[in-house]
Amino acid sequence: MIIDFHNHYFPPRYLETIRTGGSAFRVTEDAEGNPVLHSPGDYNVLVPGHRDLSHRARVLDQAGVDRQVLTFTAPGTSIETPERAVELARIINDAFAADVDAWSGRFTALGHLPMNAPDAAAEEATRVVGELGLPGVMLLSNASGVPLSDDRFLPVFDALHRARAVVYIHPTYPVGVEVMEKYMLMPMVGFLMDTTLAAASLVYAGVVERFPDITWVLGHLGGAVPYLAERFDRGFEAYPECRERCTVPPSEQMRAFYYDTVNFDPRCLALAKDFAGADHLVAGSDYPHMIGSLEKMKASIDAMDLTDQERAGVKGGNAARILRLD
């Protein structure tokens, strides 16, 4: 079984709501009639795969992908006012839960939280994993410029910890995005660095140790985490402030994270495998973004030096285990 952990979906009701009720996104259409959502340093062309699950299912059949973990994408609702973010997050999560039920066995989903409204985000986290029955949430790597490790988000993580939830960290617009607008440097560089920054901050701030029943997953092969882990340990040894809340070497904590394979270079995948183990890699495509590829997802995993058991785990078994899929 192949399970694509990293892909993105815009529920039609969400799109209708921002078109009719207003949004901080600038919404246009391309020549083919696809909605285009514009935000600082980036834009998303919402092709049919972004918004039509029937179309998506046909693509998955052709690609030989059995299941996907639906998630929203950057900048999510954090681009909106806190009040609007809360409203839209509920719409997104209700749609995710309904679509998971309607497509039994084809999709699961990770909820979206309005992190620019922390109290409401904690309540929504409880609703997502309780009432809606989703296995966890996708959090963006910062909340409108506030690091996820900030104490204001501790109630959110407490709710997710009590539910033994999956928390998937996906990048969003880093501070300083204005210097990344040319050459699409924001999604190619800024995203990866912001994931790395979020992971290091959560570890040094003691959040990962404080909530051991959360399963952490990092997007895009963890940004630079496998490459920089040794440096994080040196900081832990050298700087007293790095040991104020962190008692376990960062690399040890980060080896317990899971990493999606949205880096299609087998040499980079090998580094992540050597760092965290094949049992901590989950397949990802970034479908249907322009920079994503279902075929490259599969081909890059097939090119890795893995046993048959390890390959089956990376392709789907590891994701099924942490998401508790049937």
Q: Is 65 helix (H, G, I), strand (E, B) or coil?
A: coil
Tell me, what's the pLDDT at 41?
Answer: 66
Torsion angle of the four alpha carbons 21, 27, 30, 34, in this order, in degrees rounded to the nearest 10: -40
Please state, for a pLDDT cut of 90, what percent of the chain lies above it.
Answer: 92
Q: Is 247 helix (H, G, I), strand (E, B) or coil?
A: coil
CA distance 88 to 93: 9
Q: Is 291 helix (H, G, I), strand (E, B) or coil?
A: coil
Cβ contacts of 275-278, under 8 Å, gap ≥ 24: 275/226, 275/229, 276/226, 278/306, 278/310, 278/313, 278/314
Tell me, what's the pLDDT at 174?
Answer: 86
Residue 43 domain boundaries: 3-323
CB 69 within 8 A of CB 319: yes
Element housing 218 (H / E) = strand 215-218
User: What are the distances in angstroms from CA 74 to CA 163, 220, 261?
Assistant: 25, 13, 18
pTM of the model: 0.96
First to last CA, the chain: 12
CATH code of 258's domain: 3.20.20.140
Residues 6+ apart with CB under 8 A from 101: none
- The structure tokens 């986290």 sit at 125
Q: Which of 68, 61, 113 is nearest to 89 (CA)?
A: 113
Tell me, what's the pLDDT at 40?
Answer: 72
Q: What are the tens digits of pLDDT across the range 299-316?
A: 999 999 999 999 999 999
Tell me, what's the pLDDT at 178?
Answer: 78
CA distance 121 to 125: 6
CA distance 240 to 3: 42
- Which residues of the chain fall short of a pLDDT of 50? none
Number of folded domains that form the chain = 1
CA distance 169 to 162: 18
Determine if the peptide bond prior to 171 is cis (ω within 30°): no
